[in-house]
Chain A
Amino acid sequence: MTAFVNHLGFEFRSGLKSATSMLMFYLFPIGFYALMGLVMVEINPDFAELLIPSMVLVTLMAGTLLGLPAQFVEAREAGIYRSFKVNGVPATSIVAIPVVASAFHGVIGSAFIASTAGAFFGAVVPVDWMAFSLLTVLSAFVFGALAALIGVVSTSGRATVLWSQLVFLPSMLIGGLMLDLELIPEGMRWFSKLLPTTYAMQAYRGLAFDSSTVIDGPMSAGVLAAGGGLAAGLAVALFSWDRKNATQRFHPAWAVVAILPYLAGAFLT
């Protein structure tokens, strides 16, 4: 337990010392939040309902999907994981701790947004703060696990950018962040349901804001949790200490299995 706390503390402090992490966890999402609060709510007053959950999800995605995968690749290529292995650091800790540390940062940024959006931009605030908090932690875990999975299976920094953007960009466009799922054209909606943000937004709306939803709130939270759990499990199973000496138990292509809960959600809802 001491080792876990020590490791977590180190990772969290590293995030504070890293310019990239500070940019991804705080500067970029909070700047984006300020811009959206100032402009988007003026253009589309209905966006006030989406501002808090969507900006929280942007914060969590930026910190995890855009920052974490490259860290995994760099650490592996620099031989850091080899050092960790020979000194008894288990693979589970190597995968889990950066995810938990990034979730902490994400939650701090999210707390700032949630606590200021109502006063600054007239955003609609959650009616159930407990549900909102739990969903924020769950979302942080889901995106952290996805980011870890991308980092674990990517062979280079370029590959991490490619895979991360494959999740990040569609999420921004059709993942319910800018437009509620209800307003997304019917033909596009099925693809929206392959994205974790869609379920996160639906869960927020149904459980924390008591708003109408296309997908049932608890169902959305369930799909999200299943997606996060599966991604985390795959990240641990597919983890390799180094690329050259890989003695992987499974082929990295198994990572695509992470889409299954969302695929099931798309067919069932």
Chain B
Amino acid sequence: MGETERITTDLDDHIPVALEVSNLRKTYADLVAVDGISFTVRRGEIFGLLGPNGAGKTTTLECLEGLRRADAGRLDVLGVDPTNDPSRLNKLIGVQLQASGLPSTMSCADAMRFFCSYHGVEPRWDLLEAFGLLEHEANRYDELSTGLQRRLALTLAIAHEPQVLILDEPTAGLDVASRTELHRVVRELSDQGTTVLLATHDMAEAERMTDRVAIMLRGQIVATGSPRDLTATADGLTKVSVRSERNTLFDDLDLPAVVQHSASDGYAVVFTADIAATVTSIIDALDAAGDPLIDLRVERPSLEERFLELTSVP
């Protein structure tokens, strides 16, 4: 894979940086897990790390969480070096780990009291209620379903109102309702100024939730940008499908900016580099031919398609 593909975004440069990763490198014996990556996340932003298994997402997050020591590079979380100042870091960040656990005999209420006392804050019973855990407050951790365990982990991660929230595969194992609730809470936290860094496999989730993403492959970042900008740049083309009463377009698809055209299921399909010019000329052509328009679809490639394109092994 070549150099990182940088997509311009409309990020406000005046917003201070919350999190900065600069030339991070981490190896395990001969395996290079993270190979000199750099990115910044601004305050209040929801930033996603996407990538296939083994891309280095979790290693990157764990270096930022202070769980692993980087071999090289600089990490900065709100002015704190995660490796050298773990006690300050823990006050600033909330973490939901991909793989973690609690003592089997610890109930939801115990966990809330336990971790809040270490963070020096009052237990947040309101959060247990918001995440539907209040009715399970006396249940032991090993009695909770996977979904409830993950909800509890998220509740504990945000109980001390951290300025940066790091989520590793936050919706893995969650049902649709819990997933939606989690998206709502994360968006709400972001609106209140919390910076969110999340690693996920779920492209729909990344597309829906994040302001920007970095796509990782084999320890490197191969593209960064907003999901919208990333998808808009897939081959630089947008698919336009047109259906009219007499299908006159089938005979003449010589339209501006169109690089490919075909017919499929009663639709004339064109791939264009300039949506506005192409759509305008389609409408003009149909008008001129007196052929009433039935349907017109403009489809951008999904983030998943873009992800597969970027991470496919040549």
Contacts and interface: CB of A to CB of B under 8 A. Distances in A.
Contacts of A245: 62, 67-68
Given A79-B101, A80-B101, A80-B102, A87 B68 contact: no
Interface stretch (B34-42, B111-119, B130-138, B247-255): B111-119
A87 B103 contact: no
Contacts of A241: 67
Nearest to A78: B101
Interface string A87-118: 11110000000000000000000000000000
A10 B106 contact: yes
Interface in A189-247: 241-242, 245, 247
Interface residues of B, number: 30
Given A3-B117, A3-B118, A83 B102 contact: yes
Interface string A153-188: 000000000000000000000000000000000000
Given A17-B105, A87-B156, A245-B68, A82 B100 contact: yes
B69 interface: yes
Nearest to A17: B105
A86 B97 contact: yes
B124 interface: no
Contacts of B156: 87
A14 B142 CA distance: 13
Chain A: number of interface residues, binned into ranges: 20 to 34
Contacts of A90: 87
Contacts of B67: 82, 85-86, 241-242, 245
A6 B114 contact: yes
Interface string B58-81: 000010011111000000000000
A75 interface: yes
A260 B223 CA distance: 57
B101 A83 contact: yes
A13 B86 CA distance: 29
B95 A6 contact: no
Nearest to B59: A245
Contact of B119 (A13, A14, A17, A87): A87
A85 B114 CA distance: 13
B297 to A, nearest CB: 46
B110 A10 contact: yes
Contact of B68 (A3, A6, A18, A247): A247
B99 interface: yes
A163 B108 CA distance: 35
A44 interface: no
B90 interface: yes
B105 A87 contact: no
A13 B105 CA distance: 9
B97 A82 contact: yes
Nearest to B28: A244
Interface string A1-18: 011001100100110011
Contact of B103 (A6, A80, A242): A80
Contact of A79 (B69, B86, B87, B97): B97
A250 to B, nearest CB: 15
Nearest to B91: A88
Nearest to B63: A245
A84 to B, nearest CB: 8
A92 B65 CA distance: 19
Contacts of A80: 100-103
A86 B106 contact: no
B100 A83 contact: yes
Given A85-B67, A87-B119, A7 B90 contact: no
B69 A14 contact: no
B116 to A, nearest CB: 9
A10 B114 contact: yes
A90 B115 CA distance: 12
B69 A88 contact: no
Contact of B90 (A13, A75, A82, A87): A87
A90 B66 CA distance: 13
A17 B87 CA distance: 32
Contacts of A247: 68-69
Contacts of A3: 117-118, 120
A101 B216 CA distance: 45
Nearest to B99: A79
A83 B100 CA distance: 6
B131 to A, nearest CB: 17
Contacts of B153: 83
Contacts of B100: 79-80, 82-83, 86
Contact of B113 (A6, A78, A88): A6
Interface in B139-159: 153, 156
A82 B99 CA distance: 9
Interface in A54-86: 75, 78-80, 82-83, 85-86
Contacts of B106: 10, 14
14 contacts: A3-B117, A3-B118, A3-B120, A6-B117, A14-B105, A79-B100, A80-B102, A83-B153, A86-B65, A86-B90, A87-B119, A88-B87, A242-B67, A247-B68
Given A86-B67, A88-B91, 16 more contacts: A2-B117, A10-B110, A10-B114, A13-B105, A14-B105, A17-B105, A18-B105, A78-B101, A83-B101, A86-B66, A86-B90, A86-B93, A86-B97, A88-B119, A241-B67, A245-B62
